[in-house]
Amino acid sequence: MKVRVFYHDRCFDGASSAALFSRFYRERIRNDIDFVYTGLLHRAGSLFNEADFDGDENAIVDFKYSSSPKITWWFDHHESAFLTPADAAHFEQDQSNRKFYDPAFKSCTSFIAMIAEQRFGFNPAPVEELVHWTDIIDGALYEDAKTAIEMKEPAMQLTMVIEATQDSDFLPQLIPLLATRPLREVVSSPLVAPLLPPLLERHQKSMALLRQRTECKDGTLFFDVTDQELEGYNKFVPYYLHPESIYSVGLSKSSFRVKVSVGSNPWAQAPPLVNLAKVCERYGGGGHARVGAISFNVTEQAAARRAAGEIVEELRESVRNTGR
Residue 324: per-residue pLDDT: 60
Residue 298 — very low, low, confident or very high, per pLDDT cuts 50/70/90?
very high
Q: Mean per-residue pLDDT for 251-257?
A: 91
pLDDT at 35 over 70: yes
Residue 167 one-letter amino acid? D
Q: Mean per-residue pLDDT for 46-74?
A: 96
Average pLDDT, rounded, for the chain: 95
222: phi then psi, degrees, rounded to nearest 5: -140, 140
The pairing of beta strand 291-297 with beta strand 257-264: antiparallel
The SS3 call for residue 16 is helix
pLDDT at 8 over 70: yes
Q: Which residues contact 10 (CB under 8 A, 6 or more apart)?
A: 39, 41, 162, 163, 164, 165, 171, 232
Put residue 192 in one of left, alpha, beta given phi > 0 → left and psi -120 to 50 → alpha. alpha
Q: Mean per-residue pLDDT for 183-210?
A: 96
Calculate the alpha carbon distances from 315 to 20, 57, 174, 262, 272 in Å: 37, 43, 38, 10, 10
Domains and CATH numbers, the chain: 2-191 (3.90.1640), 199-321 (3.10.310.30)
pLDDT at 255 over 90: no
Q: Mean per-residue pLDDT for 199-203?
A: 94
- Under DSSP, the state recorded for 242 is -
**Contact, 243 vs 267, CB < 8 A?**
yes
The pairing of beta strand 247-253 with beta strand 215-217: unpaired
**Contact, 208 vs 181, CB < 8 A?**
no
Tell me which long-range contacts 120-129 makes (C-beta under 8 A, separation of at least 24): 120/24, 120/28, 120/29, 121/28, 122/24, 122/27, 122/28, 123/27, 124/20, 126/23, 127/19, 127/20, 127/23, 127/179, 129/182, 129/183
Residue 77: per-residue pLDDT: 98
Burial class (CB in 10 A: 0-12, 13-18, 19+), 93: exposed
Cα–Cα distance, 273 to 250 (Å, whole number): 19
Q: 94-122 pLDDT, tens per residue?
A: 999 999 999 999 999 999 999 999 999 99
Residue 6: per-residue pLDDT: 98
- Helix H or strand E encompassing 86: helix 85-92
pLDDT at 267 over 90: yes
